């Protein structure tokens, strides 16, 4: 491997683990019921929702070959699976990959 690739991996790993370490160290002083914590929680969920919506509505790459209808069918079905599986993320993730493969190949 190139030296720059190894250096990039090291720097990004250091940044990731340093921020996680600092988060673990400082987490004892944060109250989950505080307004600031709830605001950051809402911000994180809204950012995630926006990214998912962008991926569904304006896909890039291979997903752009799939129709809007198949993407929305997969999302709605996986939301249903998510709620009946007691908010488990594993089942909808696996089922969405299988459904997108089947729908894009056979529809």
CA 81 to CA 31: how far, in whole Å? Answer: 32
Residue 4: predicted pLDDT = 84
Q: How many domains does the chain have?
A: 2
Higher model confidence: residue 12 or residue 62?
12
Residues 26 and 71 placed together within one structural domain of the fold:
no
Residues 18 and 58 placed together within one structural domain of the fold:
no
CA 76 to CA 52: how far, in whole Å? Answer: 13
Summarize pLDDT for 52-68 with one digit per residue, the tens: 889 888 988 888 888 88
Residues 15 and 49 placed together within one structural domain of the fold:
no
Residues 36 and 14 placed together within one structural domain of the fold:
no
Residues 19 and 43 placed together within one structural domain of the fold:
no
96 in Cβ contact with 74 (< 8 Å): yes
Location of structure tokens 């896909």: 59
Residue 91: predicted pLDDT = 94
Residues 26 and 43 placed together within one structural domain of the fold:
no
Residues 23 and 43 placed together within one structural domain of the fold:
no
Angle at which helix 68-84 crosses helix 35-57, to 10 degrees, equals 140
Residues 15 and 55 placed together within one structural domain of the fold:
no
Summarize pLDDT for 39-95 with one digit per residue, the tens: 988 999 999 999 988 988 898 888 888 888 899 999 999 999 999 999 998 999 999
Residue 32: predicted pLDDT = 81
Residue 1: predicted pLDDT = 57
Question: Which domain covers residue 14, as residue numbers?
Answer: 1-30
């Amino acid at each position: 491997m190139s030296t720059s690739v190894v250096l990039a991996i090291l720097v990004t790993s250091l940044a990731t683990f340093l921020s996680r370490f600092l988060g673990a160290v400082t987490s004892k002083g944060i109250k989950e019921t505080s307004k600031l914590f709830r605001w950051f929680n809402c911000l994180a969920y809204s950012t995630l929702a926006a990214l998912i919506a962008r991926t569904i509505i304006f896909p890039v790459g291979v997903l752009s070959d799939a129709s809007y209808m198949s993407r929305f069918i997969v999302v709605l079905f996986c939301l249903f699976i998510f709620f009946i599986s007691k908010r488990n993320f594993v089942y909808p993730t696996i089922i969405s990959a299988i459904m997108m493969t089947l729908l894009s190949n056979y529809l």
